[in-house]
Each structure stands twice: as C-alpha cells, then as structure tokens.
Amino acid sequence: RKEVEQDPGPFNVPEGATVAFNCTYSNSASQSFFWYRQDCRKEPKLLMSVYSSGNEDGRFTAQLNRASQYISLLIRDSKLSDSATYLCVVNLMIYNQGGKLIFGQGTELSVKP
C-alpha cells in the first residue's frame, strides 16, 4: 500500500463546477497535512495546510479525518485557472530525524469553458 494515495485522474470539469479530491494516508503517526498545486513543468506551490477542524480559503475547503486517515480538498465554482495537478502531502515525524514529507502521486484537474 502506498503511503499516500490520491484519486487517479484526470478530472475534467466545466467552469463553475464543484470538484472534490480525496487522499488517504497509511501512517497514523503523520502529523501535518497539506495540499499543493503544481502547474505543468513548474514547481509545486503550497495551496493550503489542512487542520483537524477543517479550514477554508475562498473557494477552497480542506478537511481532515484522522480516524479514517483521510484528507479532502473541495474546490467550488471552479475557474479555468484552477487547471493543474493537485498534490496531497503528509508530514511524518521520524524520531531523531525531524519531519519527512510524503507526496501523493497527484490528481490532474482540467477545467473547460
């Protein structure tokens, strides 16, 4: 089982649609969680951290369920500019070595006019 697994893509949606990305992680010792966005041939950029209580940033909502080891990202009213690959990232704390970030494979989103 992969340490971080995401929905296989790509997701093709019309503008204005609501789209949800799902991610599961295998190590219950994981301590912090993030969503990154990566445009084609560019570096990943932090989209948002994911907090236990859930958090929202404009059209984006992230949720964490520690019991189920599940993370989600919801994008409302999707825009053409949201087209990118979305990466689920988990920070696993390793004794004496600090944090180790583990990346999911990413889910590609394509928003069409």
Partner 1 sequence: DGGITQSPKYLFRKEGQNVTLSCEQNLNHDAMYWYRQDPGQGLRLIYYSQIVNDFQKGDIAEGYSVSREKKESFPLTVTSAQKNPTAFYLCASSLRDSRAIYFGEGSWLTVV
The sign of the torsion formed by the CA atoms of 85, 72, 70, 56 equals: positive
Site for partner 1 in 35-54 (CB under 8 A): 41-46, 49
Residue type, 70: Y
**C-beta closer to partner 1: residue 14 or 43:** 43
* Residue count of the chain: 113
Residue 24 within binding range of partner 1, rule CB under 8 A: no
Report the nearest approach of partner 1 to the CB of residue 44 (Å). Answer: 6
Site for partner 1 in 68-97 (CB under 8 A): 87, 91, 93, 97
Residue written as token pair 């219950």: 28
* 15, 65 Cβ separation under 8 angstroms: no
Candidates 40, 32, 9, 38; CA nearest to 109 is: 9
> What number of chain residues touch partner 1 (CB under 8 A)?
21
Residue numbers at the binding site for partner 1 (CB under 8 A): 32, 34, 41-46, 49, 87, 91, 93, 97-101, 103-106
